[in-house]
C-alpha cells in the first residue's frame, strides 16, 4: 500500500500550510465563541493533521479497491443513526458517546461517496456517458441522499446533491447530458420550491419552510426565524475594517451579548467578522478559496480519472460548503446547519475533511510529471 517511489519534492506542502492556517484561525475563533470546546477543536486539528499525513502516504488506488465496502458501510451508518441516533431539535443525525462526543454519519458520507464514485466511475469510464451507467450512478447516490434528507437534514442533502454533480462533471459527463439535465432541472426546481412554500405542502417541514420565508420576508420574522441571521449581519458589520479585537469585552458585542446561538458552529463567520473585521473575514474567504483551487489544480494533474474525481470533488466540497456557510452568515442565503470547513467546531466534519485531504495529497504525490 505504501509506495516507496514517492519523492518529497512532489509533496504538496502548500496545501498543508493553507489547511493549517485556516484551522488555526478556527481554533482561535471557536475559543472565543465557546471557550469550553477550544481544547477539543485543537486536539481535533492535531489528530486530523496526523491522519491526513498518514493517509497521504498510502496508495489511493489500493484503498479504492474497497469501494463497495465503503458504500455499504456508509449505508449501514446512515440507517443506524436513523433508528439508534441521538435526537435534538427535531433531527436525528448523531450518535452520542460518553464525554459529550458526537459522531455525525452524514459528514463522513460525503467523503465515502467521493471515494466510492471515484472508483466506480473509473471502472466504467468507457461507458460512463451511457444511459445505463448514468442511471446507476443516480440510483447509487439517491439512496444515501434520501437517508440524509429524512433525518431530516436538508442542508447536508443539498451539499450531497451538489457534490454528486461535481463528481459526475469531474468524471467526464458529456456536456450534451449536462445541458439536457439543466433544461429540465431548472424549471422543475423552481416549480418544486413554489409548491414547497405552500401552507399545506409536505415537501418541507414547517421549520424548513419557515427558514425560506424568513429569508424572503426578514422583517416579518425579525424576532423569530430571521433573528439569528440579522444578528449575524450586525456582528459582521460592527467589526468594520479591523474588528473589535479577539475576546473583547465590549458590551456592544453581539457575541458577548449571546445574541447568536451555536456561534461556534453555524455562525462562526459572524464571530470572525466582529472580532477580526473585514481583514479577518477576507483572510478566511481567501484561504477557503485557495484550498479549493489547489485541489482543482491537483485534479488537473492526476494520473487517472479516480484521482481527478477525488481532488476535484474535495475542492468542490470545500468551496460549496464555505459559500453556503458564509452566505447564511451574511444573509444572502436562507438559514442552514452547515459548518465552515476547517473553521467551525464539529469534530466529525473536521476529521472527515482532513481524511479527504489526505487522499488529495496522495493524488498529488502520484500526479503526472
pLDDT at position 162: 92
Measured distance CA(19)–CA(175) in Å, rounded: 33
Domain boundaries, the chain: 8-225+279-365
Whether 357 contacts 15, CB under 8 Å: yes
Instruction: Give the DSSP letter of residue 148.
Output: H
Beta bridge partners of 103: 95
Whether 138 contacts 181, CB under 8 Å: no
pTM of the model: 0.91
Whether 45 contacts 26, CB under 8 Å: yes
Instruction: Give the DSSP letter of residue 35.
Output: G
- Number of neighbours of residue 35 by Cβ within 10 angstroms: 11
* Residue pointed to by grid coordinates 444578528: 231
Residue 70, H or E segment: helix 67-84
Backbone angles phi, psi at 303, to 5 degrees: -80, -20
For residue 312, CA distances in Å to 48, 105, 292, 366 come to 20, 22, 8, 15
Whether 209 contacts 201, CB under 8 Å: yes
Measured distance CA(298)–CA(208) in Å, rounded: 37
- Crossing angle (nearest 10°) for helices 305-329 and 154-170: 150
Backbone angles phi, psi at 132, to 5 degrees: -60, -45
Q: What angle do CA 98, 104, 105 make, to 5 degrees?
A: 125
For residue 10, CA distances in Å to 4, 40, 356, 369 come to 13, 32, 18, 9
Give the cell for residue 245: 479585537
Measured distance CA(315)–CA(201) in Å, rounded: 35
- Crossing angle (nearest 10°) for helices 227-238 and 268-300: 80
Closest C-alpha among 150, 154, 78, 160 to residue 111: 160
Q: What angle do CA 327, 329, 335 make, to 5 degrees?
A: 80
Whether 110 contacts 352, CB under 8 Å: yes
Q: Mean pLDDT by 10-residue block, N- to C-terminus, for the chain (369 residues)?
A: 70 94 95 90 95 94 94 94 76 75 89 96 92 93 92 86 94 84 77 67 66 72 76 88 82 72 86 92 96 96 94 96 93 85 92 96 87
Distant-in-sequence, close-in-space partners of 116: CB < 8 Å, separation ≥ 6: 67, 68, 70, 71, 74, 140
Measured distance CA(27)–CA(206) in Å, rounded: 34
Peptide bond into 115 cis (omega under 30): no
pLDDT at position 2: 54
Closest C-alpha among 165, 176, 153 to residue 113: 165
pLDDT at position 4: 56
For residue 32, CA distances in Å to 25, 37, 272, 327 come to 11, 10, 9, 21
Quick one: how far is CA 327 from the chain centroid? 13
Measured distance CA(355)–CA(336) in Å, rounded: 24
Amino acid at each position: 500500500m505504501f509506495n516507496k517511489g514517492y519523492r518529497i519534492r512532489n509533496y504538496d506542502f502548500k496545501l498543508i500550510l493553507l489547511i493549517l492556517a485556516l484551522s488555526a484561525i478556527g481554533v482561535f475563533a471557536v475559543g472565543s465563541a465557546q471557550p469550553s470546546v477550544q481544547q477539543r477543536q485543537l486536539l481535533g486539528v492535531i489528530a486530523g493533521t496526523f491522519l491526513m499525513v498518514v493517509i497521504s502516504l498510502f496508495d489511493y488506488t489500493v484503498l479504492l479497491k474497497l469501494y463497495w465496502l465503503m458504500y455499504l458501510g456508509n449505508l449501514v451508518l446512515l440507517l443506524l443513526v436513523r433508528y439508534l441516533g441521538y435526537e435534538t431539535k427535531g433531527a436525528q443525525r448523531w450518535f452520542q458517546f460518553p464525554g459529550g462526543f458526537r459522531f455525525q454519519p452524514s459528514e463522513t458520507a460525503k467523503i465515502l461517496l467521493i471515494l466510492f464514485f471515484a472508483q466506480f466511475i473509473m471502472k466504467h469510464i468507457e461507458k460512463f456517458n451511457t444511459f445505463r451507467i448514468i442511471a446507476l450512478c443516480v440510483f447509487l447516490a439517491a439512496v444515501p441522499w434520501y437517508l440524509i434528507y429524512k433525518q431530516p437534514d436538508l442542508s447536508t442533502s443539498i451539499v450531497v446533491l451538489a457534490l454528486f454533480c461535481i463528481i459526475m462533471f469531474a468524471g467526464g459527463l458529456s456536456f450534451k447530458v449536462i445541458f439536457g439535465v439543466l433544461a429540465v432541472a431548472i424549471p422543475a426546481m423552481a416549480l418544486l420550491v413554489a409548491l414547497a412554500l405552500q401552507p399545506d405542502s409536505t415537501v418541507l417541514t414547517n421549520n424548513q419552510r419557515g427558514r425560506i420565508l424568513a429569508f424572503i420576508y426578514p422583517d416579518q420574522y425579525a424576532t423569530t426565524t430571521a433573528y439569528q441571521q440579522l444578528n449575524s449581519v450586525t456582528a459582521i458589520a460592527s467589526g468594520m475594517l479591523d474588528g473589535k479585537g479577539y475576546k473583547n469585552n465590549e458590551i456592544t458585542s453581539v457575541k458577548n451579548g449571546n445574541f447568536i446561538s451555536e456561534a461556534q458552529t453555524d455562525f462562526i463567520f459572524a464571530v470572525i467578522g466582529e472580532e477580526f473585521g473585514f481583514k479577518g473575514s477576507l483572510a478566511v474567504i481567501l484561504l477557503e478559496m485557495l484550498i479549493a483551487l489547489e485541489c482543482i489544480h491537483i485534479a488537473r494533474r492526476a494520473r487517472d480519472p479516480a484521482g481527478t474525481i477525488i481532488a476535484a470533488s474535495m475542492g468542490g466540497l470545500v468551496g460549496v460548503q464555505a459559500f453556503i456557510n458564509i452566505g447564511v452568515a451574511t444573509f444572502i442565503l436562507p438559514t442552514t446547519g452547515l459548518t465552515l470547513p476547517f473553521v467551525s467546531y464539529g469534530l466529525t466534519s473536521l476529521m472527515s475533511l482532513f481524511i479527504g485531504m489526505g487522499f488529495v495529497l496522495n493524488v498529488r504525490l502520484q500526479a503526472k510529471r
